[in-house]
């Protein structure tokens, strides 16, 4: 199973108000294990950068002015995500921007059925707690000390760890490894036990009367009785 942990940074809170994506970061998982493959790009939003947004992610208009526009990276982006499940924290926000950007270049939107929202998972598991990415990192003991500002690739990497904790993936992986390690040992013990023979036969537990009764029963079954093969 292929999953893509994805995060974006933007110029503001709403694509409907003309805000744009300025950074995309994504991490690939196969069967809940990071493969080391990532996708990361800064994007020229072709507009100004509000101070409030710059304070969050630290990306200035000057820094972004020579970066590629979305239309220049869309093929690489679509190819990377493919048909994988997209795992996103607060997916409604990121998906609103991603599908808006795709619409600007006449590409098909991503189906929401392809998306897993880790914020919704966290809210179901911890309904009375803070479920921000920082709060979840603290809850699960994940080191987020590098996160002095929001950054799409760093946040995707942290979210990958959080996601595995939310779904129990780490414990599952550990159990599978332990079971695999134990299997050859168990097999060896089983084979060894098959080669052992008792030095002394165990004494019979049937009484003479029980043996006679059994013999009479077998005699009545006729010459084809299966019991005769064990005499």
Catalytic hit among 19, 89, 150, 214: 150
For residue 18 the two structure tokens come to: 């003309």
For this structure, is 150 an active site residue?
Answer: yes
Note whether 9 and 147 are within 8 A (CB): no
Q: What are the φ and ψ backbone dihedral angles of 154, each rounded to 5 degrees?
A: -60, -45
Q: Is 189 helix (H, G, I), strand (E, B) or coil?
A: helix
- Which secondary structure element, helix H or strand E, spans residue 223, and what is its range? none
Q: String of b and e for 177-214 (b: at least 16 CB within 10 Å)? A: eeeeeeeeeeeeeeeeeeeeeeeeeeeeeeeeeeeeee
Quick one: which of 226, 197, 163, 4 has its CA closest to 95?
4
57's CB contacts (< 8 A; 6+ apart) are: 9, 22, 23, 149, 150, 151
Residues 132-155 as b/e (b if ≥16 CB within 10 A, e otherwise) read: ebeebbebeebebeeeeebbbbbb
Residues that are catalytic = 150
């Amino acid at each position: 199973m292929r999953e893509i942990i994805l995060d974006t940074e933007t110029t503001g809170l709403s694509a409907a108000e003309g805000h744009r994506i300025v950074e995309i970061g994504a991490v690939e998982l196969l069967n809940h294990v990071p493969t080391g493959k990532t996708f990361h790009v800064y994007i020229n939003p072709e507009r100004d950068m509000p101070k409030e947004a710059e304070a969050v992610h630290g990306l200035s208009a000057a820094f972004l002015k020579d970066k590629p526009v979305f239309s220049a990276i869309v093929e690489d982006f679509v190819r990377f995500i493919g048909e994988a499940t997209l795992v996103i924290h607060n997916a409604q926000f990121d998906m609103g921007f991603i599908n808006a950007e795709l619409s600007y270049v006449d590409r098909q939107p991503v189906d929401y059925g392809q998306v897993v929202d880790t914020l919704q998972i966290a809210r179901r598991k911890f309904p009375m707690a803070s479920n921000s990415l920082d709060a979840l990192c603290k809850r699960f003991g994940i080191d987020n000390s590098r996160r002095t500002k929001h950054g799409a690739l760093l946040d995707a990497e942290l979210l990958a760890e959080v996601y595995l904790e939310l779904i129990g993936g780490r414990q599952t992986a550990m159990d599978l490894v332990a079971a695999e390690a134990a299997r050859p040992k168990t097999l060896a013990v089983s084979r060894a036990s098959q080669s052992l023979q008792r030095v002394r036969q165990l004494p019979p537990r049937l009484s003479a009367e029980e043996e006679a009764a059994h013999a009479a029963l077998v005699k009545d079954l006729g010459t084809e009785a299966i019991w005769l093969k064990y005499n």
